[in-house]
């Protein structure tokens, strides 16, 4: 799984943004149609308080017999939705990734586990990790605006372009519900990818379905009814 595709998937999954606490659960649908794996997103914090911190935590388990595929992502943001700290732990079979990024003063310091070392990069005054960027997206949609292009932190910095594709329908609990479809193009130093998110027109702009193209086919995340 390429880093850009993983960044796309994580960003799509971590699309929190309501000005309240919330929990969203998704089923992972594999290209074969099999529903194998779950994703849980927990958002806590209140944007009603300007300087109150916001936190988002996403856990993923897409394991199948003999091959563990798990991930945990945690973001701490300030009251404006800017990243202060981002933690990422991911396991794919025998491969493990563990890193912590802290952001302050226009710089992001990335520390990796297992003796991987430390690096520093310049970032915007209000930097966004994958969670914080999609937090920003939902906030913009709630305000009636199409989000502007930007960057997200996911190990490296990735440029993200956003395009509205129009209305669509999503099946939830056996019924069809209205949704608005957006495509996100993610480009990094050495790779790029795309994913789609279908948002509800409700006040929270809840992400109803996520579609991500991988080398083995298209994966979907369906909101559990």
The pTM score is 0.83
Domain range annotation of the chain: 3-223
pLDDT computed for residue 11 by the predictor? 53
pLDDT tens digits, 60-83: 998 888 888 899 999 999 888 899
pLDDT computed for residue 7 by the predictor? 52
Q: Is 147 helix (H, G, I), strand (E, B) or coil?
A: coil
pLDDT computed for residue 95 by the predictor? 83
- Which residue in 118, 7, 132 sits closest to 71, CA to CA? 7
pLDDT lower than 70: segments of the chain: 1-20, 46-52, 114-115
CATH T-level assignment (fold) for domain 3-223? outer membrane lipoprotein receptor (LolB), chain A (2.50.20)
**Taking the CB of residue 219, how many other CB atoms lie within 10 A of it?**
20
Q: Where are the beta strands (DSSP E) in 78-206?
A: 83-92, 95-104, 107-112, 117-122, 150-154, 156-172, 175-187, 192-199
Q: Please, which residues have CB within 8 angstroms of residue 37's CB and are 6 or more apart in sequence?
A: 27, 28, 30, 60, 61, 62, 63, 69
pLDDT computed for residue 16 by the predictor? 41
């Amino acid at each position: 799984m390429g880093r850009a595709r993983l960044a796309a998937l994580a960003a799509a999954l971590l699309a929190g943004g309501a000005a309240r606490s919330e929990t969203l659960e998704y089923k992972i649908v594999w290209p074969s149609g099999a529903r194998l794996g779950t994703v849980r997103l927990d958002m806590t914090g209140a944007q009603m308080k300007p300087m109150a911190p916001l936190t988002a935590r996403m856990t993923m388990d897409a394991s199948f017999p003999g091959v563990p595929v798990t991930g945990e992502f945690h973001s701490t943001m300030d009251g404006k939705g800017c990243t202060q700290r981002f933690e990422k732990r991911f396991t794919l079979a025998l491969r493990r990734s563990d890193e912590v990024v802290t952001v302050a003063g226009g710089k992001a310091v990335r520390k990796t586990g297992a003796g991987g070392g430390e690096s520093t990069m310049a970032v915007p005054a209000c930097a966004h990790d994958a969670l914080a960027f999609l937090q920003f997206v939902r906030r913009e949609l709630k305000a009636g605006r199409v989000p502007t292009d930007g960057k997200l932190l996911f190990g490296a910095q990735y440029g993200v372009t956003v395009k509205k594709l129009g209305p669509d329908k999503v099946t939830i609990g056996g019924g069809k519900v209205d949704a608005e479809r957006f495509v996100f193009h993610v480009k990094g130093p050495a790779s790029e990818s795309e994913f789609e998110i279908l948002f509800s027109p409700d006040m929270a702009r809840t992400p109803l379905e996520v579609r991500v193209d991988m080398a083995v086919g298209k994966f979907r995340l369906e909101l559990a009814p």
